[in-house]
Amino acid sequence: MIPYAFDYTRPESVEEALDLLDDDAKLLAGGHSLVPALKLRLSAPGRLIDIARIPSLKGIREENGEIVIGAGTTHAEIMKSDLLKQHLPMFAEGAALIGDPMVRHKGTIGGSLAHADPSADWPAMVIAADGEVVLRGRNGSRSVAAADFFIGFYSTALEEGEIITEIRLPVPAEGTRMNYQKFAQPASRFAIVGCAVVRHPDGSVRVAFTGVSDAPFRDTGVEEALSGQQLTDDVIEAAAAKAAEGVSLNSDHFASEEYRQHLARVYCKRALNAVA
């Protein structure tokens, strides 16, 4: 289908983009979620503000004990980043599992977090790595913990007139291990179930899921089952059996609630085995 007509602007800076961002406008990053929505006429903004080439939204750097990923950084750039391979290898490996080369070279991490597709990969990894999403509006910036950013089906803490500028991730201590496992939809590669696990040298483990429910979530039930334990086969088995317990499970033509629960346990066990 053909979208409704819209104006198109390409600002040079975040400040300029914020000035243009009114009720009738939508930000355009990689376009790999927005353009399909425009074509299906699920979204009909009067103006697109193309932020894909704003320099300050691009790139990956280390700063004050954190890895900072610009919101406009593409999945492919994350996949190739030596800094991420060194400190947060799950991100480089996870990026390689997203979509196909076209999606990875156009789609951005900021666009993915803002869109909050319940099957998107980044949310689970950013929550498990204890990331923060930095949002900028006309009155300044604020930071939201990734675990609080996703509030429901395609719904986030992003408010009208705000832009995600960057994602900040603590540089993990030496010896931290991390892994992301997903059961991918065979055509799109979206996660029917995705599980990210970060195991810190003090033995604490953070576990997060995507695809399972209407929003990604940190699974404290699994984390508590692992607390103070060595990751033996029995401990992993018992903890993974608690995956997505008490969560309202998605059900669609790809996977029923029961199957998703089963997949959550299987993929949690795989991710835990990988960091054990």
Which positions touch ligand FAD (CB under 6 A)? 26-34, 71, 98-99, 103, 107-108, 110-112, 114-115, 117, 120-122, 158, 163-164, 188-190
For 262, counting Cβ atoms within 10 Å of its Cβ (0-12 exposed, 13-18 middle, 19+ buried), the class is: middle
Shortest Å, Cβ 244 to ligand FAD: 19
Cβ closer to ligand FAD: 70 or 236? 70
Shortest Å, Cβ 138 to ligand FAD: 14
Cβ closer to ligand FAD: 73 or 176? 73
Give the pair of three-digit tokens for residue 199. Answer: 């195991």
Shortest Å, Cβ 29 to ligand FAD: 3
Helix axes 257-275, 233-240, angle to 10 degrees: 150
Shortest Å, Cβ 234 to ligand FAD: 33
String of DSSP letters for 87-135: H-HHHHHHHTTSS-HHHHHH-BHHHHHHHT-TT-SHHHHHHHTT-EEEE
Cβ closer to ligand FAD: 61 or 86? 61
Question: Residue 222 to residues 126, 159, 269, 271: CA-CA distances in angstroms?
Answer: 18, 31, 10, 12
Shortest Å, Cβ 132 to ligand FAD: 14
Give the pair of three-digit tokens for residue 246. Answer: 């008490």
Shortest Å, Cβ 248 to ligand FAD: 21
Q: Residue type at 173?
A: A
The DSSP element (H or E) to which 239 belongs, if any, is helix 233-240
Count of alpha carbons within 13 Å of 8, Cβ hemisphere only? 8
Cβ closer to ligand FAD: 108 or 176? 108
Cβ closer to ligand FAD: 172 or 194? 194
CA distance 231 to 234: 8
Cβ closer to ligand FAD: 110 or 131? 110
145 Cβ contact list (under 8 Å, min separation 6): 130, 131, 132, 133
